[in-house]
Homo-oligomer: A and B are copies of this chain.
Amino acid sequence: MLVILNIGELVVIPKGPVCGREMRNVRRIQNAAIVVDGGQISWFGRATDVLIPPGSDVLDAGGGCVLPGLIDCHTHGVFAGTRENEFVQRIEGKSYADIAREGGGIRVTVDAVRAATLEQLIALALPRLSRMLHNGVTSLEIKSGYGLSVDDEFKMLESVRRLREFQPIELVGTYLSAHAVPREFDGHTDEYLGRMLDDPVLSRIRDGRLAEFCDVFCETTAFNIEQSRRVLLKAKQFGLLPKIHADQITQMGASRLAAEGGAISADHLEKIDDGGIAALKAVGTIAVLLPACSFFLGVEQAPARKIIEADVPVAIATDYNPGSSMVESLPLTMTIACTQMRMTPIEVVVAATANAAAAIGRQDRIGAIDIGMQADLIVLDVPSVERWMYEPGRNCLRTVLKRGKVVVDSSG
């Protein structure tokens, strides 16, 4: 058993999804303690009330703030190669279309991933995951989608599976073969989808537990509404729950498709409209907003306030990827949400814990402080989440625990 003492403020995040004003009504306990037993929270409350079981280990929180481990619920964290040249071209005024015409864009990463071995993909991802852990991330979704052939997509999903052996972050795989149409299928989108959604392919993903979700990039430059519907419905038959890249650049009804298809989350939403918001609300789909992506691209943010005020549960994720969001820090992403989307610190913390857990179907186990919840916890070196978000660019993590075990300790 482990007892965490000297907690300046315990942020009692409720189980997700959390909507609307409830995102701000989070209980805080000053001078708190937590008891962890068997990797789960077995007690929490005021430090003056704690009973320390004999033989317990004790962790000193140093007066810092304690909250659930962060959950990054939308990333493309397995990739090879970098695309800083496109970053510069965009600043110089080139459009996405110009960059693609000149041989840039996602296909550059696809070529690099196809050329990489499984072991190389793992070796490239490990230091990223280590830095994410040091930023407080204890659970992480990673999508495929840079392979775009059956073998290369399996290589990506297999790398996610194997990465679990080497580091403590809990990893969640998502099958995103419908990320783009690869060069060799130019003009043959439906044939490409047929290949990637073939029964043996989806059976192998299901049987090997290589992914829990299936995602599709619904956009004029990728897959249209009809194709996106086909992807989500077919994958669902094989137990892969739908996610969708929706309303990022073009408003083409993707949020409505998310609702119609019972998607667990609709992600991006920079261009969502009132009908899309109402559709998500009606079925309880999580709106996953990606403020680091808009920051990185220098474009408009999703209308977070409007979505929250419509009582749609909002999650925040990094969208970490080499093209449009080379931002691996979820705390920085959360601060961007504060300053650029006008979300309050407690709202972004709920969005990156309870609601992010709901976006990956784990709200009953992680992302909240409650008896029986998994003891994925972070200890900050500051006394409140407000103080944390107020210091962009400084790592305020003191200690990170995964299933009750200390996996990062910077307190020394």
* Chain A interface (Cβ < 8 Å from any Cβ of B): 82-85, 87-88, 91-93, 131, 292, 295-298, 326-329, 332, 338-340, 342-345, 384, 386-387, 389-394
* CB <8 Å contact, B326 and A82: no
Question: Which residues of B sit under 8 angstroms from A87, Cβ to Cβ?
Answer: 338, 345, 386, 389-390
The one of B91, B332, B384, B387 that contacts A392, using a Cβ cutoff of 8 Å: B332
Q: Which residues of B contact A328 (CB under 8 A)?
A: 391, 393-394
How many angstroms from the CA of A87 to the CA of B83 in the assembled complex? Answer: 34
When C-beta atoms are compared, the residue in chain B nearest to A330 turns out to be B393
A387 surroundings in chain B (CB, below 8 A): 82, 84
Give the docked Cα–Cα distance between A329 and B329 (Å): 14
Residues of B with C-beta under 8 A to A295: 339-340, 392
- The interface residues of chain B lying within 8 Å CB-to-CB of A332 are 332, 392-393
On chain B, the residues within 8 Å of A389 by CB distance are 84, 87
Contact assessment for A345 and B88 in the assembled complex, using a CB-CB cutoff below 8 Å = yes
Instruction: List chain B residues, Cβ under 8 A from A386.
Output: 84-85, 87-88
Across-interface contacts of A344 in B (CB, < 8 A) = 88, 91-92
Q: Are A327 and B85 in contact (CB under 8 A)?
A: no
Residues of chain B lying within 8 A (CB to CB) of residue A297: 339
Q: Which residue of B lies closest to A348 (CB)?
A: B91
A392 B327 Cβ-Cβ under 8 A? yes
**A345 contacts across to B, CB distance below 8 A:** 84, 87-88, 91
- Report the copy number of this chain in the oligomer: 2
Which residues of B are found within 8 Å of A93, using beta-carbon distances? Answer: 342
Given contacts A82-B390, A87-B338, A87-B386, 14 further A-B contacts (CB under 8 A): A82-B387, A84-B386, A84-B387, A84-B389, A85-B386, A91-B344, A93-B342, A295-B340, A295-B392, A297-B339, A298-B339, A328-B391, A329-B393, A332-B392
Flag if B84 contacts A390 (CB, 8 Å).
Answer: yes
**Contact partner of A338 among B91, B292, B390, B391, CB < 8 A?**
B91
Most buried by B among A296, A339, A393: A393
Q: Closest approach, in angstroms, between the C-beta of A382 and any C-beta of chain B?
A: 9
| Residues A394 and B82 in contact, CB atoms below 8 Å apart | no
Which residue of B92, B296, B327, B393 is within 8 Å of A327 (Cβ)?
B393
Distance in angstroms between the alpha carbons of A326 and B384 in the assembled complex: 15
Q: A326 to B339, alpha carbons, bound, how many Å?
A: 12
Residue of B nearest to A131 (CB): B394
Closest chain B CB from A314 CB (angstroms): 15
Contact of A394 among B92, B329, B338 (CB under 8 A): B329
Chain B nearest CB, measured from A375 CB (Å):
27
Shortest Cβ distance from A152 into chain B, in angstroms?
A: 25
- B residues near A298, Cβ cutoff 8 Å: 339-340, 342
Give CA–CA (A94, B321) in the complex, Å.
35
Residues of B near A384 (CB, < 8 A) are 84
Structural contact, B390 and A91, CB atoms closer than 8 A: no
- Which residues of the partner chain B approach A394 to less than 8 Å between Cβ atoms? 131, 328-329
List the B side residues contacting A391 at CB < 8 Å. 326-328
Most buried by B among A92, A327, A332, A392: A392
- For residue A200, give the distance in angstroms from its CB to the closest CB of chain B: 39
Docked complex Cα distance between A296 and B336 (Å)? 9
Which chain B residue shows the least CB distance to A339? B298
Rounded to whole Å, the gap between the CB of A132 and the closest CB of chain B is 10
